[in-house]
Amino acid sequence: MNPIENPYRPGAGTKPVFLAGRDEIISKADTLIKRVKIGNPQRSLMLYGLRGVGKTVLLNKISELAETENYIVEQIEMSENDDFRKVIAGFIRKILLKINRIENAKEKLLKALGVFKAFSISMPDGPEFKIDVDAISGEADSGDFESDLTDLFVNIGQAAKEEGKCVCILIDETQYLKEKDMAALIASCHKISQKELPLVVVCAGLPSIAALSGDAKSYAERLFEFIPIKYLESPQDALAITEPAKKKNVTYESDAVLEFIKVTRGYPYFIQELGKHTWDLAHSSPITVDDVKNATATTLKELDNSFFKVRLDRAAGREKRLMYGMAELGQGPYLMADVAKKVGIKVSSLSPTRATLISKGFIYTPEFGYIDFTVPLFDDFLRRNK
């Protein structure tokens, strides 16, 4: 069918034509945004899930909700080697400058700017801050990131409140925060909520963020509601497949939908990818099971050569060996002891490789003693490409 009309959108953070199965989470986020706006603190959200389940799409949606409520919104995406101090400082600068123009700034915003200036001066290679305000020492310049970030957040919150504004900070790929940075972030959110200030932080990341937060601060779960973002279940999986086509007056035969679900296992990214190829290869509506089967071969070939391969190429030799060992055991989660046996190494000797695979975001610990892949269907890929 006409590829120009193709309604499927495989990508990273790309808004799907039909956002399936996330109404409850969106409604929670909406309530949070509205409550914080009227000074009613509420637990914020920490969205966690595997690669391609739709975390970034949800953060983008939350960003839209906050913008509708006139929040100042900044969305941060962390990468593996980022220094969180520097990254957040750059965004704080932007937020402060958005709260109000310097000429019109009231007392609290001027103070926040001065405190931020002192913070940037105290930070080696910090962001340049050429605004004409005097640095105010004594807050946010101790060199202890946890107390400095808390001071900064409080000052931003107080400035926003005085100027009648609200601030929403969205942090994606949160698993790349170091534990001490996570501790600083949680402590800062804690203070903000105690003081009922109009600043909200929503995080998203791989499943390891749950453990990272708990290790950083034992009270993390009282500040954040941890929401698992999962594959789509019936009937939302079928809707994610059929609804985009329906908008173009194209339908699926029912066994074609079943085949589609069998291949993608309800994972949003794979649904978009297979949907795209099925649409391009099918000749007419309704789409048949053979259309889906034909498209599956093309889709897998393309995923193997791009999506999966790019990821595998980031792994070092011994990391690859460990992952091939996992895949040979079938579907996860995998007991570490079984993986060790499979690759013929002692569990204790595997630990460093396991740790680098977790920090690179390849695997996570679903429960004590176990590991699993963060990319859905990665085990199938490794078995196909031994």
Angle at which helix 84-99 crosses helix 179-194, to 10 degrees, equals 30
Is there binding between residue 61 and ligand ATP (CB under 6 A)?
no
The one of ligand ATP, Mg ion, none whose footprint includes residue 353, by CB under 5 to 8 A per kind, is: none
Shortest Cβ 207–ligand ATP spacing (Å): 10
57 binds ligand ATP (CB under 6 A): yes
Q: Which does 117 bind (CB under 5 to 8 A by kind): Mg ion, ligand ATP, none?
A: none
Question: Which of residues 114 and 207 has its CB atom nearest to ligand ATP in the complex?
Answer: 207
The CA-atom distances, in angstroms, between 69 and each of 28, 37, 50, 59, 128 are 15, 8, 30, 15, 31
| Residues near ligand ATP (CB under 6 A), total | 24
Is 56 near ligand ATP (CB under 6 A)?
A: yes
**Member of 1, 20, 29, 340 binding ligand ATP (CB under 6 A):** 20
Q: Which does 272 bind (CB under 5 to 8 A by kind): Mg ion, ligand ATP, none?
A: ligand ATP
Count the Cβ atoms, other than its own, within 10 Å of residue 191.
17
Residue 374 interacts with Mg ion (CB under 5 A)?
no
Contact 136, 124 (CB under 8 A): no
Q: Is 363 in the site for ligand ATP (CB under 6 A)?
A: no
Q: What is the spatial distance between Cα 93 and Cα 95, in angstroms, rounded to a whole number?
A: 5
Q: Parallel, antiparallel, or unpaired for β 44-48 and 199-205?
A: parallel
How many residues touch Mg ion (CB under 5 A)? 2
Straight-line distance from the first to the last Cα atom of the chain, in angstroms, rounded to the nearest whole number = 35
Select the binding partner of residue 57 from ligand ATP, Mg ion, none (C-beta < 5 to 8 A, by kind).
ligand ATP
Is the C-alpha dihedral spanning 284, 285, 289, 291 positive or negative?
Answer: positive
**Nearest residue to 200 via CA among 55, 56, 27, 59:** 59
114 touches, from ligand ATP, Mg ion, none (C-beta below 5 to 8 Å by class): none
Q: C-beta of 78: minimal distance to Mg ion in Å?
A: 11
Please classify residue 167 by burial: count the beta carbons closer than 10 Å to its beta carbon, then call 0-12 exposed, 13-18 middle and 19+ buried: buried
Give alpha helix (H) positions in the chain.
23-37, 55-68, 84-99, 107-122, 145-162, 179-194, 208-216, 220-223, 236-246, 254-264, 268-281, 289-303, 309-313, 317-328, 336-343, 347-359, 378-384
Part of the chain binding Mg ion (CB under 5 A), chosen from 55-63, 86-94, 161-169, 307-315: 55-63
Amino acid present at 249: N
Largest CA distance in the chain: 70
Nearer to ligand ATP, 55 or 85 (CB): 55
- Residue 317 Cβ, how far from ligand ATP at the closest point, in Å? 24
Q: Identify which range of 113-121, 268-276, 293-301, 318-326 contacts ligand ATP by CB under 6 A.
A: 268-276
For residue 240, the partner it binds in ligand ATP, Mg ion, none, with Cβ less than 5 to 8 A by kind, is ligand ATP
Q: Write each residue from 228 to 247 as x if it is in contact with ligand ATP (CB under 6 A), else as -, in one continuous string.
A: ------------x-------
Q: Which residues lie near ligand ATP (CB under 6 A)? A: 9-14, 16, 19-22, 49, 51-57, 240, 268-269, 271-272
Q: Which residues lie near Mg ion (CB under 5 A)? A: 55-56
